[in-house]
Amino acid sequence: MKLPRRRFLGLVAAASVSPAMSWTATAQSYPTHPVRLVVGYPAGSGPDIPARLIGQWLSQRLGQPFTIDNRPGAAGNVGAEIVAKAEPNGFTLLEVLSTNTINASLYTNLNFDFVHDIAPVGSIGSTPFVMVVNPSIALKSVQDFIAYARANPGKINMASAGTGTAQHVSGELFKMMTGVELVHVPYRGNYTTDLLNGQVQLAFMPIAQALEYVKSGTLTALAVTTATRSPALPNVPSIGEFVPGYAAAGWYGIGAPAGTPQTTVDLLNAAINAGLADATVRSRLSDLGIEPRPMSVAEFSQLVADDTAKWAKVIKFGGIKPD
């Protein structure tokens, strides 16, 4: 999603947050010079803004600039490869997305191994998706949807922002776990107009994008995709309440080249988590539809491993190939 220039500049300016305390150069040996934070998407895109917010926090917290290096291309794989092949000294980092765990199985010709070449450092937050339908099909619950889809196999069109996106595989996971037959309709960008006019009937839409339409009644929210309900839509159930074990979300974090010293990884993790505890940072992330999710290194590593394994099964089940 490309943000309007005024919105983009406003959010970047708002990223200048004041840390609760400063870590002096005498408190640690890292970082001793500027750090590069590689973002595999263009400036002003959805992933770019949280990276700038966290980068600004880390700059002020750790006393050295954390500069954003936008390296778009191949669904984030260009940026990931740069970091995978960088020196493991903590001075080149990667904004890691849930997309990277999907790409690990979706693309079979990568020149790096995401799981082995990128070390998880810290979680930033997650973006729930909402299972929304056009009101024309008059369904109000996940149970009703499953019953309708089973009675009408192949008659529901499921939109996504593209093949292999988190939205797409969230829908494929739903198909795999419920046995329903849906027709995937990938878009190269915005599918909202077609969803609103009923040309496609279903989407697993980012919650920030869906809120306006759900509240106005132009789309019906059946459930959120996270394991628990979202504070943004507290009266909307989770899919897991009807399909036990179902959970999916987009998320953001920070990674480093494998082999980066553990002391550096731990220091960065602590600094990121301090940012997520800061009221201003939390507010800025929430404005972007991102729910802050502080984690230890071990917890974030487990999330990366679990999602990589989960999406590998989904991609195999759906026979998904990159466009």
Three-state DSSP at 117 gives helix
Under the banding of pLDDT at 50, 70 and 90, the label for residue 7 is very low
Under the banding of pLDDT at 50, 70 and 90, the label for residue 28 is low
CATH architecture of 129-241: 3-Layer(aba) Sandwich (3.40)
* Tens of pLDDT, residues 8-18: 444 444 444 44
* Tens of pLDDT, residues 139-168: 999 999 999 999 999 999 999 999 999 999
* Tens of pLDDT, residues 206-259: 999 999 999 999 999 999 999 999 988 999 999 999 999 999 999 999 999 999
* Tens of pLDDT, residues 42-62: 999 999 999 999 999 999 999
**What's the chain's average pLDDT?**
91
174 CB neighbour count, 10 Å cutoff = 26
Sign of the four-CA dihedral 179, 182, 185, 190: negative
Q: Is residue 1's pLDDT more than 60? A: no
* Tens of pLDDT, residues 132-147: 999 999 999 999 999 9
- Cα 19 from Cα 17, distance rounded (Å): 6
Answer whether 5-127+249-318 and 129-241 agree in fold. yes
Token pair belonging to 304: 């990366």
The helix (H) or strand (E) run that includes residue 202 is strand 202-206
Kindly list the domain boundaries of the chain, sorted by start residue: 5-127+249-318, 129-241
**Helices 279-287 and 262-277, packing angle to 10 deg:** 80
- Give the DSSP letter string of 45-69: STTHHHHHHHHHHHHHHHSS-EEEE
Q: How far is CA 69 from CA 26, 43, 46, 112, in A?
A: 28, 9, 15, 19
Please name the fold of domain 5-127+249-318: D-Maltodextrin-Binding Protein; domain 2 (3.40.190)
Three-state DSSP at 225 gives coil
Under the banding of pLDDT at 50, 70 and 90, the label for residue 188 is confident
DSSP 8-class letter at 238: B
Q: Is residue 36's pLDDT more than 70? A: yes
Identify the CA nearest to 62 among candidates 268, 260, 256. 268
- Answer for the pair 158, 235: CB distance below 8 angstroms, yes or no: no
pLDDT at 190: 87
- Cα 139 from Cα 146, distance rounded (Å): 10
pLDDT at 323: 81
- Answer for the pair 207, 130: CB distance below 8 angstroms, yes or no: yes
Three-state DSSP at 299 gives helix
Burial of 64 (0-12, 13-18, 19+ CB in 10 A): middle
Task: Pick the more confident residue, 6 or 46.
Answer: 46
pLDDT at 211: 94
Under the banding of pLDDT at 50, 70 and 90, the label for residue 189 is confident
Please list the residues that pair with 291 across neighbouring strands: 126
Sign of the four-CA dihedral 72, 74, 76, 77: negative
The helix (H) or strand (E) run that includes residue 226 is none
- Cα 182 from Cα 31, distance rounded (Å): 50
The proportion of the chain whose per-residue pLDDT surpasses 70, expressed as a percent, equals: 91
Identify the CA nearest to 226 among candidates 242, 210, 208, 238. 238
* Tens of pLDDT, residues 270-318: 999 999 999 999 999 999 989 999 999 999 999 999 999 999 999 999 9
Q: Is residue 24's pLDDT more than 80? A: no
